[in-house]
Structure 1
Amino acid sequence: MSRRLDYYRISLGFIVLIILSFIFVKKNMANDAFYGVYIGYPQGYISEFNGQHSLLKNEQGQIITPFGGRNASGAGLGEGVQNSPKANMPIPAKIEVMWFSVIENKFWQGEFLLPKDQLEKAFTQDKMLGVFTGTGGSKINKYDELIVNVAPEGKVYIYVGGFATKLIGSYQAQAIDYDWLQHVEDTWAIIDRSHIESQEEYREIAIRADKKLIDNISKNYNEDYFTPVKWTFDIKGDKKISAYAANTINGEYVHVLDNPVSQEMNSIPKEIVFDVNENNTVNRYNLVLPNMYEFYKKHFRNDELVEITVDFPRPDYCILYFKQGEKVIELEDFSSQEVNRNI
């Protein structure tokens, strides 16, 4: 009897161990997500991420993955070049980032807490219909990128990206003193220091190569781009907007697929792609708004809703109106065209 009791105890203990192991593995898997790290900066802000002090970390400060180097994109806010392979990794709770700013001739460094719950939702739960993605109407994962942008005066902007792009945090790094040769070794693992360019030589080469972009950085970045605004988008007449996607000046790429006319956006648009229903036919149009920040700041306040209305008085002619309160202004500096919905 005692042997049988011992057997049952051992079996029960084994089953409990399996259950606990399953719960532990499942819990750890639930804290993982499939994503990669992308790095970049606004056009003209030529920078280099330090390879030893640019890290994603968990709550305990343990390293999840490093990132860094010169392969940063100068394409703009909310964009970057892939810097770590996409893989199942723990969702980060902290980020350390350090970079050398060529135009400021400074090192910047900061360590910041990340909104882990928000990241987990973005990477594991946020899905959308692929209306503007070339994937048809199928449901797809919205985000699989963590994008790290650095900007003048030590600003750091963190986004989730993929088929859409959303800002999840703005942070402030501090200027630090750091040895140039150590930075090069950190980033490129160069042992023979005799072949390393000096900091000034490095800056001169970079500035000479990208002088035009550097001279125009004020046109590509302004901290005020991140000041919230309120706007909606609609079409005049009997036609109906069924969905739209908007690139905004703060680097976000927003898809508005449900009740588009009533949705309020919070950053000034620079491009809008929208679908219009008319007589059971759906047509797609693209609006490019090149100087929207200057136009918006000149005519409107940030604290009151701006209603943007597009009008097609004839099929080949488009008018764009902006209304805030009693003020109505027509935007003249824009381009529009009908585009293929199947691309």
Structure 2
Amino acid sequence: MDRRTALGLLVALDPLSALAQDLTPARPLPWRLRSRFWMNLHHVLAELVQADSELAAWRQPQGWSDAEGRAWQAAQHRYREAFAEADIPFDERFQALRLALLGIADAQPLPTLAPALHPFGQALEEAAGPYRRHLWSGHAVLNEAWIQQAQPLLNRHGLLLRERLEAVLQPALPEYIPVDVVAYAANFSGAYTHPGPAHTIMPSTRKSYQGAASLEMLFHEACHTGMDSRLISDINALLAPRGLRDQRGLWHATQFFTVGHLAQRVLAEAGRAYVPYGQRWRVLQRAWPFAIAPLEAHWLPYLEGRNSRDEALAALVEASYPA
């Protein structure tokens, strides 16, 4: 029985109880979008030392004082030695420092860091003055602009989209997800999320994250807080009798497809046309081309209420991993 049918029966049997249910405040949305100095600087320094960084011109900026230039170069040197070849979302030292900076407001000093992180704390302190004087105000404006486009979309569509996504994937979203909006995430794939504690890094300058895509990407990243755990385990359980695991990333393709489709439907119901992120930017075609036809043939009917989850997932796995 779906929620609407249940509420209809409740009204017929007990109007006062139904009224009380309707007046119960909705569960607050979990996201807290913010732009903070230290978290931005941490990611800007990591971005600078990536080989393909679009910030190459800022490695040796013109017009700064000699002291600022030396401090900037020294900070980059420390980050380059540690993170130039790192997979930033999974690098233990980088993420330990992210956690240490998680609650630090702009005007606060750096916290006491573990000994292994001292060189990076020194780098942040060296770079803080030049970054604040020359780059931070511009980055803060870009971050705030992204927040100002994303927050109204969350306010208008977030409750309905969360309800539908939780019904499909079934684990609930956490109660609190801080989202640090940074100018650059130092990650080729864009935003990233860690589940414990839940925390998202969202790059404001990424072209593909603008407009209504900001809504989809906030929900997509939120799935990585553990909401995708049942999907992952169920896919692997279906593959286990054949001695297989989901090495092709079917779970991630399914998550992309699901969030994009539900976001498209919610926005369409509000009169707004939207092309899902994975479709517009050809993410599925590039990362999981094997999954496109199975998702459309077997998972889409479930999302549209024409099939059960168990039947849809079994068929999806079978088509994606044919014998």
TM-score (norm 1): 0.28
Task: Indicate the structure (1 or 2) with the bigger Cα radius of gyration.
Answer: 1
Greater relative contact order (Cα 8 A, min sep 6): structure 1 or 2? 2
> Structure 1 or 2: larger helix share?
2
